[in-house]
Structure 1
Amino acid sequence: MTDRRRIGFDNPHADLGFDNPEFWNFMYDDETAPWLIDGPQPVIADLVRQGLVRGRVLEPGCGSGEHTILFTRLGYDCLGTDLSPSAVEYARRTAVQKGAPAARFEVANMLRPDDYPFLTPGFDTVVDVAMFHGFGAYGDNLDVAKEYAAVLHDICNPNALVHVLAHADAGPGLSSGISAEVIKESFATGWAIESVELSTYRARVTELIAQEAADSGLPADGPVELPAWLVRLRRL
């Protein structure tokens, strides 16, 4: 059985496992996901201003699609993927509402790239916002996290940049915070780790996670800034 608290909320579908689409679908159908903040993460928007997004872009685990929408509106060739069909539908609706109907979203399991013709090699930038830590949350078994790192290596061009924003274990949070060591170990082969910085992840406390927020000493509702690792990796 999946440990609900380590995933970060009291999910009524927790018994299915977080790698099952139904685990995630209801949060988009009901719009209860704590990451639905009606915009991109500020630290991700900063990457563009710093010139750290380039070429063909992939956003795995795109969720609401806000980053893919941002990159598309700025003229990047960007694809957002998510395991949840409801997330992809949500992202497509949001793209239309925000004047970016050309934004592309597809359902995909990132651990099975061979099943999806759009996950072919050739990406120059990958932006992973709060997906990787789901693989790396169980530090005593990093097989899945390393498998994911290997998938990204296979589909990225040499010298491609991978940006990971992952919930950190450096303070109170609402999800499975991981250590910097987990990140470094997961990407030890085939990658140059250019930076690992303590940053923030913006979320909102909804009824779904109100009790967990209270247990963590966080506000009972509204927006919160949570500790997160902002990581930049270069594909060797």
Structure 2
Amino acid sequence: MSEQPGAFAEDPFDGRTPTGHERMTGLPWDASYRDGPAPWDIGGPQPAVVRIASDGGFAGAVLDAGCGTGANAMHLAASGLSVLGVDVAETALEMAREQAERRGITVEFTIADAFALQRLGRTFDTVLDSGLFHTFDTDERAPYVDSLAAVTEPGATLYVLCFSDEGPETGPHPVRRDELETAFALVRGWKVVTIERDRIHTRFHDNGAPAWLAAITRVSR
């Protein structure tokens, strides 16, 4: 029987609070991976991530928050970085582990709630958020940012690639530039270094959808 919006199993969220996107669609994130590729699963890393990596932007221990099937995490791990990819979708993580094993790439994948990253018991030098931030409602952003703070020390770098509200054919959940600046404000222990126009590639955008690429530094506890 196919799942219908609102037709959950007893607890499809494993005890966590569903995100705004999940409440809107009536389905847990895991459902996106059960019947073919998810819209954001392009079969390889995001070009923006490849570019940052080639410029030496990732260093030390790396966290890929909302890693999905792991294309970005595997690209970074293949260059010799220590990478942990986390997601709430166990189906996606199983696919990521299988592909990493098939390709002979050493990378770790584990289930984790983006609002409770402190449960990982680890800190990271670089964090990647490729397509996760824009799925959160306004009132979910502060808890998410605080969760990121719990796994980073001052000096850590965060990259956020999210849908932008500027330009034609914007993706779902577009984010304004000032919303990024507000979420990662100095008063929350972050400094936005740069926000640049970029593209997020999806299965439904030939040349990607308008995006923001933000480089953000953790400045205080």
**TM-score band (shorter)?**
0.7 to 0.9
Q: Secondary structure at the match of 2:150?
A: helix
- Distance, in Å, in 2 between the alignment partners of 1:93 and 1:15 is 29
Give 1:174's match in structure 2, choosing from 167, 171, 175. 171
**Residue 125, structure 1, aligned to residue 126, structure 2:** yes
Aligned position for 1:231? 214
Aligned position for 1:89? 94
Mean CA deviation greater in 57-66 or 86-95: 86-95
Structure 1 residue 14, shift from structure 2 partner? 6.0
Indicate how the Cα distance of structure 1 residues 65 and 197 shifts in structure 2: closer, same or farther if over 3 A, else same: same
Indicate how the Cα distance of structure 1 residues 26 and 59 shifts in structure 2: closer, same or farther if over 3 A, else same: same
Aligned position for 2:149? 153
Mean CA deviation greater in 21-30 or 55-64: 21-30
Q: How many residues align?
A: 201
- Distance, in Å, in 1 between the alignment partners of 2:66 and 2:6 is 18
Aligned position for 1:210? none
Conservation of the 8 A alpha-carbon contact between 1:14 and 1:23? no
Indicate how the Cα distance of structure 1 residues 166 and 15 shifts in structure 2: closer, same or farther if over 3 A, else same: farther
Unaligned runs of 5+ residues in structure 2 are 9-17
Q: Secondary structure at the match of 2:135?
A: helix
Runs of 4+ in structure 1 off by over 6 angstroms are: none
Deviations 1:193-227, CA, capped at 9 Å, x for gaps: 0001110011112xxxxxxxxxxxx7xxxx44100
**Residue 104, structure 1, aligned to residue 108, structure 2:** yes
Conservation of the 8 A alpha-carbon contact between 1:121 and 1:157? no
Unaligned runs of 5+ residues in structure 1 are 1-10, 206-217
| Aligned pairs for 1:38-53 within 5 A | 38-53=43-58
- Distance, in Å, in 2 between the alignment partners of 1:19 and 1:125 is 27
Conservation of the 8 A alpha-carbon contact between 2:117 and 2:150? no
**Residue 187, structure 1, aligned to residue 177, structure 2:** no
Question: Equivalent pairs: percent with the same residue?
Answer: 30
Aligned position for 2:73? 68
Structure 1 residue 168, shift from structure 2 partner? 0.8
- Distance, in Å, in 1 between the alignment partners of 2:31 and 2:201 is 21
Give 2:36's match in structure 1, choosing from 31, 36, 41. 31
Please report the TM-score for the alignment, with normalisation by the length of structure 1: 0.79
- Distance, in Å, in 1 between the alignment partners of 2:87 and 2:159 is 17
- Distance, in Å, in 2 between the alignment partners of 1:29 and 1:22 is 12
Q: Secondary structure at the match of 1:144?
A: helix
Conservation of the 8 A alpha-carbon contact between 2:6 and 2:27? no
Corresponding letter in the other structure for 1:130: G
- Distance, in Å, in 2 between the alignment partners of 1:155 and 1:13 is 34
Q: Secondary structure at the match of 1:197?
A: strand
Corresponding letter in the other structure for 1:108: A
Indicate how the Cα distance of structure 1 residues 192 and 14 shifts in structure 2: closer, same or farther if over 3 A, else same: farther
